[in-house]
Structure 1
Amino acid sequence: MRPALALPLTLGLAGLLAACGGDDGEPPLPQLGPATGASLRGCASLAGFSFANTTVTAATDVAAGTLTVAGTPVPAHCRVTGTMFSRTGVNGNYAIGFEARLPAAWNGRFFHQVNGGTDGSVATATGAVNGGGGLTNALKLGFAVVSSDAGHNGAQNAAGTANFGNDPQARLDYGYQAVGKVGPMAKALILAGYGKGPDRSYIGGCSNGGRHTLVAASRYPDQYDGYLVGNAGFNLPKAATANIGGYQRYLTLASTPGDASTGFTAAERTLVSNAVLARCDALDGATDGLVQDTTACQATFDLARDVPTCTGARDGSCLTAAQKTTIAGIFSGVTTSNGTKVYASWPWDNGLQTGGWSFWKFVVPSILDSVAVGQIFQSPPEDAATFVGPVFAATASVDQMVARINATAGAFTESAMSFMTPPNPSDLSQLKGRGAKVMVYHGTADPIFSADDTTAWYEALRRANGGNAGDFARYYRVPGMNHCSGGPATDQFDMLSPLVAWVEQGQVPGAVTASARGAGNAGGVNADLPASWSATRTRPLCPYPQVARYRGTGSLEDAASFSCQ
């Protein structure tokens, strides 16, 4: 039971306004106070840490500078590795593998790092502050951080009989139960290491990690004080099914049979990207290679009108009538045979010309989505002995996939749309009532999880809270950004620090400054940046529905020249 903390005397005007709640006449929300730190008692003793269904395999001191992130050293810490809930399951042995990193000088906070893809590996527990290219991390900031593989190893991601989707419990661990098991263990480990538990707990990740986080906001609203949600695939079974459906439609356009990328070539995608820019770039008051007013762009751009129609051979300067019809249908949302939308629409954005966009659209369906849908999400899964991912991606019935991701069968007692998604995504009342906070970001050119889906979720959250959700949840669209990073975007930012300030000091987040990652960037170079941009361009990311608009004067490379309106 966490003790009540008095409102800090240093709380500023923004915090006082936040404490008054939103504009919907509700009573003030509870105010959570700050965390206080402690020193690690000793690393070696944690090898004997005892917790139900948990085995510690090692506890090792890591000297300062041994681990670096973005070229900067991470402070001294203790790395604890182990497993939870080891068991023999279908076609193999299973366990939740984890690592925790406990800094010698701790700030009193816990960060549960949830990972991407189909999990299956214990990623280094540093705690990213965004989707990619971050210059700092939770561990460096003094958090104790835990990471897990969500209940299966990498070999169990493979297609066939070894795939973890054949094991009902492994599915549930991947969907949500591993988070529910690892979190309490990590808090107990922190208590053993410092003599006190965390004052404040945070959880965050991007992609499937964003899904894990939004599911936790719904299923575990009492376990965390701050939720950092990036490019969330919170409807992942639907998104993967729709991506396969889109892949099949691109195959119908392919000039090389079996190669979906020839259905919408790099030259043709650049053509469309340039057409989107021509119609939408200046909607925010600046012609700068960024579509910042995404909503207005969807009403302004028209594929049929704004892109030339081929009268002869395809040469990259036009689209055929069949391409326009098919591609427009994919962007408006893949449907079943009766016209029911499988997942979501996709915003037109100039970020669709990148290699990252094409990878998710033309490669991932046959190597990842096929296995995820066919063996992890469908009930029952496809016959493991005969399953072939590329064949499934090219030929599976969209209608059947939709039916089976919503089905249960035998030992598979929860459908994928139950174990993979938030039970009621627009009801965060328990989280809100505690004073916890949520920050969400999503790239508008994400090719696998649509920013339109996240926008629809946030609109539903607003409606469920009297037209306002901004007093406990804020949503940021990242113009041009692909899946978690990349694209013609300012994709380097820190969302964790403003989340902490909101949770602990009541400082309501406004614009978050984001930077481009040009030559020499310590977080890595973004190869998708246009040559005309400064290597250090900055932009404000604005809380939805605000848009960054040019003030009319000042450098187009400087965030100070834009304001959220």
Structure 2
Amino acid sequence: MRPLKIFATVAALTLATTTFTPAAATAAADAAVRPVTTCAALVRGFTLPGAATHVTSAAVVAATGTDPEYCGVAGYVEPAARFELRLPTKTYAGRYLQYGCGGFCGLVNPPEFADCGLPHGGDVAVAATDDGHVGKTPAVVDDGSWGAHDQAARTDFEYRAPHVVSRASKAIIQAFYGAPPRKSYFTGCSDGGREALLLAQRYPADFDGIVAGAPANDWSPLLGEYQTWLARVNTAADGSPILTAAKLPALHNAVLAACDRLDGLTDGQLDDPRACRFDPATLTCSGPDTPACLTPAQVTATRKLYAPPADAHGTLLYPGGQQPGSELSWAGWIIPTPETGGVAFARSLADNYLRYLGYPIGAPASTVDAFTFTRRDFDRLTPVGVRYNALSTDLSAFQRRGGKLVLWHGWADEAIPPAGTLDYYQRLTHGRPQDSVRLFMVPSLYHCGGGTTLTEFDPLRELVAWVERGTAPTRVTATGRDADGHVTRTRPVFAYPQRAVYDGTGSVDDAANFRPAPPTSPVRDVVHWAGEPLYAIPGPVAP
């Protein structure tokens, strides 16, 4: 089901505190570290202050065509943060990768061995966690009922689990190989991107390099305000969707017809959709209601989807709305489909958050249909919300340790508007180049993956090169694939605010035919909205 993929997890790699020169890092990448004990000997307890850890199983898994032989470890950090850790038995070279989770998590996604652009595909020990609870089927990641009365489970999900699992994994790595990891990385998307940023902000010693994709770092406004907004503005009085999935192809084609050429190429994608001034009223039906036109009610709903939620006085309650060019991704997330069980994913997430997770245990809760878009209801979300949020712009401790952060976001993200990431990045950098932070904005990419022309983006290789060889990333190649997995387009994504410009020769589907160019106008990405005071709140920390 696509919403599950939407909130798919993304990788994370952990680097320890040992100082490395680029030459030493390259040599270490070639040198496999062998275990000093058996895999089975890891089945025991590990006494870590504030993070008592229990390994419940450990067994050697044979190599395959894609994966190395590894010791597969499963366990939990008390009280209930389950994790899976995979330790290469013959090709480990001192790196640890921890994956973020998606949605409300609630399951352990088996961690995959990552391609870091270095020798030995299995040289990285990899781990993932369920964030301290088990979600109910069928969707799992949109279930919040586990948090209705369990503060310990909430605390693990809010901020504790990624931190204590990193500590547990490193202790197990030390026991297995005789030394902690030399370098540690984390990478995640969506809620995993939120986890990535809260680790950089609250636990700066945990990781040397962090990737935060489409970060849900403004968690309480995102779940309480924005997903509720998406559900409400597209729901008719009888509960049916106003804008239907059948209308999306015509709407998307009209956007491309109006705006595709604005970036200098007619190539099926909007490189920066903020330049598009499309009015859905141009599709108003002049005769019968057909898939090729919009009814007046659908025009109104579409305009509201493109806009941020606001109160009656015009105060923005979230930094952004849907971007032109994202329309085809609205099916499932905003518009219910059979694949989502007839309930839009945004509605399910928002309702579970408001019912079970957004307010103190025992306090009056809310629902999608009862929530009001007022400052009062916005402020009611804040006391618990600051425990989830990862909005602090103080990364000084992470930066002093030499930590590197890569942010990225798809311009066509239907779940988390890119405006929030741009706003955070400008507040973080004050519009000036930084030695430790880069942002990449990916044209046509949906939430964490998928899209119309570009479907994949992963800057992990570039992060590793930055941390271990001092090569700051200036470009990352995005890839587009068709349904059969064939590459249909590659395109360079340059460090924001630079943009990709066609050099005039060769295929527009080949990344080699593009060069970087400065922005066409000064960058002004700060959004003035109700959540601005939240950037000054650092949030709690686990032991």
TM-score bin (small chain): 0.7 to 0.9
- Structure 2 partner of 1:43: 39
Shift of 1:158: 9.4
- Structure 2 partner of 1:269: 248
CA pair 207-138 structure 1, distance change in 2 beyond 3 A: farther
User: What is the one-letter code of the residue matched to 1:421?
Assistant: N
Moved more, 233-242 or 268-277: 268-277
Pairing partner for 1:501 from 455, 465, 475: 465
Shift of 1:3: 4.1
- Structure 1 partner of 2:74: 81
Output the CA distance in 1 between the equivalents of 2:316 and 2:477: 35
> CA offsets per residue over residues 326-353 of structure 1, 9 Å max, x none?
4323322012344322212135332312
- Structure 1 partner of 2:389: 421
- Structure 2 partner of 1:404: 380
Shift of 1:302: 3.0
Q: Is the Cα–Cα contact under 8 Å of residues 165 and 377 in structure 1 kept in the other structure? A: no
Pairing partner for 1:147 from 121, 128, 131: 128
Pairing partner for 2:221 from 230, 233, 238: 238
CA pair 432-469 structure 1, distance change in 2 beyond 3 A: farther
What does 1:129-278 correspond to in 2, within 5 Å?
Answer: 140-155=121-136, 163-241=146-224, 242-252=226-236, 257-260=238-241, 263-278=242-257
CA pair 290-381 structure 1, distance change in 2 beyond 3 A: farther
1:331 maps to 2:306: yes
Output the CA distance in 1 between the equivalents of 2:113 and 2:417: 24
Output the CA distance in 2 between the equivalents of 1:298 and 1:320: 25
Output the CA distance in 1 between the equivalents of 2:457 and 2:82: 30
Residue ranges of structure 2 left out of the alignment (5+ in a row): 1-15, 336-343, 518-543
- Structure 2 partner of 1:113: 99
1:319 maps to 2:294: yes
Is the partner of 1:100 in helix, strand or coil? Answer: strand
User: What is the one-letter code of the residue matched to 1:540?
Assistant: P
Output the CA distance in 2 between the equivalents of 1:122 and 1:419: 22
- Structure 2 partner of 1:22: none
User: What is the one-letter code of the residue matched to 2:100?
Assistant: V
> CA offsets per residue over residues 98-127 of structure 1, 9 Å max, x none?
111111121211111111111111110226
What does 1:269-418 correspond to in 2, within 5 Å?
Answer: 269-292=248-271, 294=272, 297-303=273-279, 307-346=282-321, 348-354=323-329, 357-362=330-335, 363-380=344-361, 392-399=367-374, 401-407=377-383, 415-416=384-385, 418=386
CA pair 138-128 structure 1, distance change in 2 beyond 3 A: farther
Shift of 1:321: 4.4
CA pair 469-185 structure 1, distance change in 2 beyond 3 A: farther
Q: Is the Cα–Cα contact under 8 Å of residues 514 and 538 in structure 1 kept in the other structure? A: yes
Shift of 1:543: 1.4
Q: Is the Cα–Cα contact under 8 Å of residues 375 and 382 in structure 1 kept in the other structure? A: no
> CA offsets per residue over residues 296-337 of structure 1, 9 Å max, x none?
x423423157x2333444323333444434432332201234
CA pair 166-335 structure 1, distance change in 2 beyond 3 A: farther
Shift of 1:188: 1.0
Q: Report the TM-score, using the length of structure 1 for normalisation.
A: 0.79
Identity among equivalent pairs (%): 32
Is the partner of 2:54 in helix, strand or coil? Answer: strand
Moved more, 144-153 or 485-494: 485-494
CA pair 316-279 structure 1, distance change in 2 beyond 3 A: same
Shift of 1:139: 9.7
- Structure 1 partner of 2:340: none
Output the CA distance in 2 between the equivalents of 1:470 and 1:491: 28
Output the CA distance in 2 between the equivalents of 1:320 and 1:125: 46
Output the CA distance in 2 between the equivalents of 1:518 and 1:158: 27
Shift of 1:195: 0.7
- Structure 2 partner of 1:61: 60
Output the CA distance in 2 between the equivalents of 1:192 and 1:489: 46
Is the partner of 2:85 in helix, strand or coil? Answer: strand
- How well do the aligned residues superpose, as a CA RMSD in angstroms? 3.0
CA pair 319-128 structure 1, distance change in 2 beyond 3 A: farther
- Structure 1 partner of 2:444: 480
Q: Is the Cα–Cα contact under 8 Å of residues 269 and 353 in structure 1 kept in the other structure? A: yes
The number of residues matched between the two structures is 484
CA pair 64-117 structure 1, distance change in 2 beyond 3 A: same
Shift of 1:46: 1.2
Q: Is the Cα–Cα contact under 8 Å of residues 453 and 489 in structure 2 kept in the other structure? A: no
Shift of 1:50: 2.4
- Structure 2 partner of 1:124: 110
CA pair 366-9 structure 1, distance change in 2 beyond 3 A: closer
- Structure 2 partner of 1:562: 514
CA pair 547-394 structure 1, distance change in 2 beyond 3 A: same
- Structure 1 partner of 2:498: 546
CA pair 150-469 structure 1, distance change in 2 beyond 3 A: farther
Q: Is the Cα–Cα contact under 8 Å of residues 284 and 548 in structure 1 kept in the other structure? A: no
Output the CA distance in 1 between the equivalents of 2:129 and 2:264: 45
Is the partner of 2:221 in helix, strand or coil? Answer: helix
1:511 maps to 2:475: yes
